[in-house]
């Protein structure tokens, strides 16, 4: 059984917990993050700290110029929603982002012959992004199986989304159990210049809800 | 019916013909090419000329740092095969390349609400790449339908691969019929400094075979 796992690390808490769960299973972590023109660049610094804590064998930060395509509040100047969570897909949705990230992770996984790609996608307490759902993961799995040399040889990496059906509070509890340092992670879509979370965007609200329901204190909270 | 089509343009002949077939159907072409660390950078110049000839509404050249991941003779110093076509997947295979390119094209298509993404993939006279087969296209279609906001709203772009079942000679004939200028396209994996094709790599051999079988003269041939 192949013990290499490519872990998508965003700098947020979900991907840190998903990678820690994978490491707990004895896998070696190959961390990958993306410089995609996000305006909250502070997340790449957080990703580096998370990868170091996971004792990643390697950490690639790959440039992909999604901001050239427009279409998202995370890569352009569109206003970020701060008036609370709502059912519609928000302006912070980056078109096809997880498809792009998984595709590049797959390219690396195929190169280093990793058996697993782990992603912190979560379909329960989430912001309404379509690319965080189980049916998408299954479709991407099939894409990896049919569209790669590894797949043709029957050894496509498995797309592993261990947080898929967890509530945010459960993610916090799993992270606590595994010793994830939530103090080095960042979730805010629109942090203040020194990285202080705004406390009002969807990501801050979801994070606060998770810690509250888990009955834990967020090390980032003031 | 949405008339915008995002066309993957590599600078080679297949993508030029696929886009021309799409334009013939009355679609507006939005060309996209990738700067992925390919060593035959001359293809981006060819892509610009092809996009101009297609009267593309826009042409995006998107940076994606695949060379950071290694694994291919097209992005590193591995020797390119020049001793003839063979059944195995060659060293010029770039891991998951079409998955990455389609994913980024999908991000743009979603942003501009294009109804079609056209790719010059061909499963008949090809180099043995897994990501050029119909079953891969279908899997990616499902990924686009499940993993995007557009898909969730029932309007995922259609992945269109009109050359899929054509022989190379048929592609040449279609191009001739549509007035594609093959003289501005480039196919060689390892061109000489001024862009002259090597005549020996898989891409040169396939191209020569196509023109010969179509009984046409390649404007690039000496």
Examine residue A61 and state whether it is found in any structural domain, yes or no: yes
Q: What is the DSSP string of A28-90?
A: EEEEEEEES--S-THHHHHHHHHHHHTT-SEEEEEEB-GGGT---TTTSSPPPP-S---SSPP
CB-based contact, A62 to chain B, within 8 Å:
yes
Examine residue B219 and state whether it is found in any structural domain, yes or no: no
**Mean pLDDT for chain A?**
89
**pLDDT at site B93:** 75
Examine residue A218 and state whether it is found in any structural domain, yes or no: no
**pLDDT at site B94:** 80
Q: Which residue in A140, A149, A151 is closest to B147 by CB distance?
A: A140
CB-based contact, B36 to chain A, within 8 Å:
no
DSSP classification of residue B221: -
Which residues of chain B have a CB within 8 Å of the CB of A149? Answer: 89, 93, 95, 130
Buried b / exposed e over A168-198, threshold 16 CB at 10 Å, is bbbbbbbbeeeebebebbbbbbbbeeeeebe
Predicted complex ipTM: 0.90
Cα–Cα distance between A132 and B29 in angstroms, integer?
Answer: 30
Q: Which of A8, A87, A96, A145 to mutate to test the interface with B (most CBs of B within 10 A)?
A: A96
**pLDDT at site A145:** 95
Q: Which residue in A110, A142, A149 is closest to B142 by CB distance?
A: A142
| Overall number of domains in chain A | 1
Strand, coil or helix: A135: helix
Q: Residue A79 pLDDT more than 70?
A: no
CB-based contact, B4 to chain A, within 8 Å:
no
Examine residue B94 and state whether it is found in any structural domain, yes or no: yes
Domain that holds residue A179: 4-213
Examine residue B218 and state whether it is found in any structural domain, yes or no: no
Q: Which residue in B100, B107, B152 is closest to A130 by CB distance?
A: B152
Q: Which of A103, A106, A121, A164 to mutate to test the interface with B (most CBs of B within 10 A)?
A: A103
Q: Which residue in A65, A93, A147 is closest to B136 by CB distance?
A: A147
Examine residue B220 and state whether it is found in any structural domain, yes or no: no
Which residues of chain B have a CB within 8 Å of the CB of A60? Answer: 68-69
The pLDDT > 70 percentage for chain B reads 88
For residue A158, the surrounding DSSP H or E stretch is strand A158-160
Examine residue B119 and state whether it is found in any structural domain, yes or no: yes
Per-window interface: B 147-206 vs A, CB < 8 A = 147-152
CA angle B110, A157, B64 (to 5 degrees): 45
**pLDDT at site B149:** 87
Q: Are A176 and A211 in contact (CB under 8 A)?
A: no
Domain with residue A8: its CATH number is 3.40.50.620
Q: Which of A107, A121, A127 to mutate to test the interface with B (most CBs of B within 10 A)?
A: A107
Q: Are A187 and A13 in contact (CB under 8 A)?
A: yes
Q: B203, B201, B198: which is closest to B222 by C-alpha? A: B198
User: pLDDT per residue over B22-80, tens digit each?
Assistant: 999 999 999 999 999 887 778 999 999 999 999 999 999 999 999 898 766 666 656 66
Rg (CA), chain B: 17
The pLDDT > 70 percentage for chain A reads 88
Examine residue A102 and state whether it is found in any structural domain, yes or no: yes
Highest mean pLDDT among A200-214, B34-48, B102-116, B184-198: B102-116
- A47 min Cα distance to partner chain B (Å): 18
**pLDDT at site A190:** 82
Cα nearest neighbour of A135 on chain B: B146
Q: How far is CA A191 from CA A12, A16, A38, B44, in A?
A: 13, 19, 12, 38
Confidence band for A133, pLDDT divided at 50, 70 and 90: confident
**Phi/psi of residue A18, nearest 5 degrees:** -60, -45
Quote the pTM value.
0.91
């Amino acid at each position: 059984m192949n013990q290499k796992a490519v872990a998508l690390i965003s700098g947020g808490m979900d991907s840190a917990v998903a990678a820690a769960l994978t490491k707990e299973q004895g896998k070696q972590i190959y961390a990958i993050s993306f410089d995609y023109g996000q305006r909250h660049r502070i997340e790449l610094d957080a990703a580096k700290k998370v990868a170091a804590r996971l004792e990643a064998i390697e950490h690639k930060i790959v440039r992909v110029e999604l901001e050239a395509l427009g279409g998202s509040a995370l890569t352009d100047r569109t206003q970020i929603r701060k008036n609370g969570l709502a059912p519609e897909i928000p302006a912070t949705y980056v078109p096809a982002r997880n498809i792009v990230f998984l595709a590049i992770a797959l390219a690396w996984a195929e190169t280093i012959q990793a058996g697993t790609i782990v992603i912190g996608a979560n379909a329960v307490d989430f912001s309404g992004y379509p690319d965080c759902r189980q049916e998408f993961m299954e479709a991407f799995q099939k894409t990896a199986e049919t569209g790669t040399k590894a797949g043709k040889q029957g050894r496509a990496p498995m797309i592993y989304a261990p947080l898929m059906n967890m509530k945010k509070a459960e993610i916090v509890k799993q992270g606590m159990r595994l010793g994830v340092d939530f103090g080095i992670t960042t979730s805010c879509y629109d942090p203040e210049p020194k990285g202080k979370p705004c406390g009002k965007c969807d990501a801050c609200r979801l994070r606060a809800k998770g810690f509250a329901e888990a009955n834990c204190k967020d090390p980032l909270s003031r």
